[in-house]
Amino acid sequence: MSKIEINNIYKIFGNNPKSVMQMVRDGATKEEVLEKTGHTVGLDNVSLKIEEGETFVCMGLSGSGKSTLIRHLNRLIDPTDGEVLVEGTNVMSLNNQELIDFRRHKMSMVFQRFGLFPHKTVIQNVGYGLEMQGKQDQERNKIAMEKIEAVGLNGFEHQYPNQLSGGMQQRVGLARALATDTDIMLMDEAFSALDPLIRSDMQKQLIDLQSQLKKTIVFITHDLDESLRLGDHIGILNAGKLVQVGTPVDIVMNPADEYVTAFVKDVNRAKVLKAKVIMTPANGAQPTGSSRLKVHEDQFLEEFLPKIVLKDIVVEVVDKAGNIKGYITDKELQKSLSK
């Protein structure tokens, strides 16, 4: 069973969504529905599965439906049709009290605009979810300080949000989400408001934290580089429809349609492809070359490409134990890097 299952979700905004459901099911486009009925199609028959412990990135342009989708997971939005299952529980079946408990203990959320309480200090903001869970002051402050240290804000716990930079405020939001120790974290354009250097630093921090915590993260972004860096799997939305789901390599190397092709056309493939993806397995004769370079199977091409100065060099791809798993020749490199 997947951690999260989204089954045939439709979301139509307007005065009478049910009245246009058949029109949408019959294949009418988002533009046609808006023109003929005045209703807006937010999601059109979206189904996907998110596995425990993975970072699933949902991306698309503005208006594609990505933020609408993530808000269905904790039922900030109810679907027009379809279901959302979390660990087998249909979120749509929860009553008000069950929904409150579900949000407090099962999912936490990090927002684009930080969502901090201006009148509360950093430690009070980080501990707010714990307060809602009924934790006592001493335990709450202990956990909050652990998370403040985890995001690199030790020493700032008694500052107020307006005394912090944007990047630091987002760290507080991340620490608050971590403090409640929920299995699932929802991150809606969490780094989009940050300057590029701070954004890159936050991405690295999230990757490092995730390698330790193994949360199930659903991350929304419109930035392809961010999705390729963070995502174990990526789902791409266009006009409310899910047009492709795959690993970063799948998305870049095998785009499903013209929309995805346009997204990935300028991607530097060396940043996405690992040695093990393009190697020829070591199960026969060794390729010949004037020199050899040894790389780890999980190294990205960009890490070792500058070291390849001779056309007849052979790259030996090894595992952690140093065993040769395969080889990369100039031919494989040229094929993989060509658009």
The tens digit of pLDDT for each residue in 199-209 reads 888 888 888 88
pTM: 0.83
Q: Using the predicted structure, report yes or no on whether residue 288 has a pLDDT greater than 80.
A: no
Q: What percent of the chain has pLDDT over 70?
A: 96
The tens digit of pLDDT for each residue in 223-242 reads 888 898 899 999 999 999 99
Structural domains of the chain, with CATH: 4-106+182-267 (3.40.50.300), 271-337 (3.90.1280.20)
Q: Using the predicted structure, report yes or no on whether residue 311 has a pLDDT greater than 70.
A: no
Among 47, 66, 56, 58, which residue's Cα sits nearest to residue 224? 58
DSSP 181: T
Strand (E) positions, 189-318?
Answer: 216-221, 233-238, 241-246, 280-281, 291-296, 313-318
Among 316, 278, 309, which residue's Cα sits nearest to residue 295? 316
Encoding tokens for residue 212?
């330790």
Contact by Cβ (8 Å): 144, 126: yes
Q: What are phi and psi of 295, to 5 degrees?
A: -135, 155
Average pLDDT over the chain, rounded to whole? 87
What is the predicted pLDDT for the residue at 51?
Answer: 96
Residue partners of 102: CB distance under 8 A and separation at least 6: 74, 75, 86, 91, 94
- Of 11-20, 55-64, 183-192, which gets the smallest average pLDDT? 183-192
